[in-house]
């Protein structure tokens, strides 16, 4: 018998790191290129998906955007994140063009007689819900022929992963995502880049000596 706490000597098994599921750049292109603008609802859907990926937004940040948050001439939008912390993020030209189309052709139809500043609206003219966007995104993923079950957060993960693949500094990605702690952003460094081996094999002078799988 011993009074020593033997539990301290036992190593607790480390929790396996669950890596984010991301869309490849090709899958993102497939999704975005499949989006139509032939109706008010389709224009809205395209604008929401474009903005979500272009800015790496959480779904709550996306659905709570206001028209007053947009600074399209400057290529920027204000985002209210977790803990009511505001950040400013850039937005690309494709997303800006789709937003302009939405603001001129779709939102005025959706809002009807209501008065408020919410940007993305449902068929009743009210702020679209998170569940509403999830359903839109899931449907559009299926229509685009993407096998993965696309979620709003998957677009955010893809945004971060693709920027990291292209060499953007991790600290900048942290700021864009609105992460409080850099360790939250560092998880994207563990995502295997499927293009990495191909790039290495083409670039390294001795790479051809590696056996083929």
The whole-angstrom separation of Cα 17 and Cα 15 is 6
The whole-angstrom separation of Cα 130 and Cα 106 is 19
Residues 6 or more apart whose CB falls under 8 angstroms from that of 127 comprise: 63, 64, 116, 118, 120, 121
Catalytic residue IDs: 58, 82, 153, 156, 179, 188
Q: Are 185 and 160 in contact, with CB atoms under 8 Å apart? A: yes
Q: How many CB atoms lie within 10 A of CB 187?
A: 16
């Amino acid at each position: 018998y011993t009074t020593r706490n033997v539990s301290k000597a036992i190593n607790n098994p480390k929790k396996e790191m669950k890596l984010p599921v991301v869309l490849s750049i090709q899958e993102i292109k497939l999704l975005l290129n499949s989006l139509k603008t032939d109706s008010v609802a389709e224009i809205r859907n395209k604008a929401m998906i474009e903005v979500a990926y272009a800015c790496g937004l959480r779904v709550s940040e996306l659905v709570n955007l206001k028209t007053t948050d947009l600074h399209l001439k400057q290529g920027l939008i204000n985002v209210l994140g977790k803990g009511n912390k505001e950040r400013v993020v850039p937005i690309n030209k494709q997303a800006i063009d789709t937003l302009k189309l939405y603001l001129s052709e779709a939102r005025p139809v959706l809002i009807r007689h209501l008065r408020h500043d919410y940007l993305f609206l449902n068929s009743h003219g009210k702020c679209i819900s998170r569940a509403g966007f999830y359903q839109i995104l899931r449907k559009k993923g299926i229509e685009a022929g993407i096998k993965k079950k696309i979620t709003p957060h998957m677009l955010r993960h893809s945004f971060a992963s693709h920027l990291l693949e292209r060499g953007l500094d991790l600290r900048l990605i942290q700021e864009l995502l609105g992460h409080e702690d850099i360790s939250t952003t560092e998880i994207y460094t563990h995502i295997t880049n499927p293009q990495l081996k191909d790039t290495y094999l083409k670039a390294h002078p001795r790479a051809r000596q590696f056996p083929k799988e």
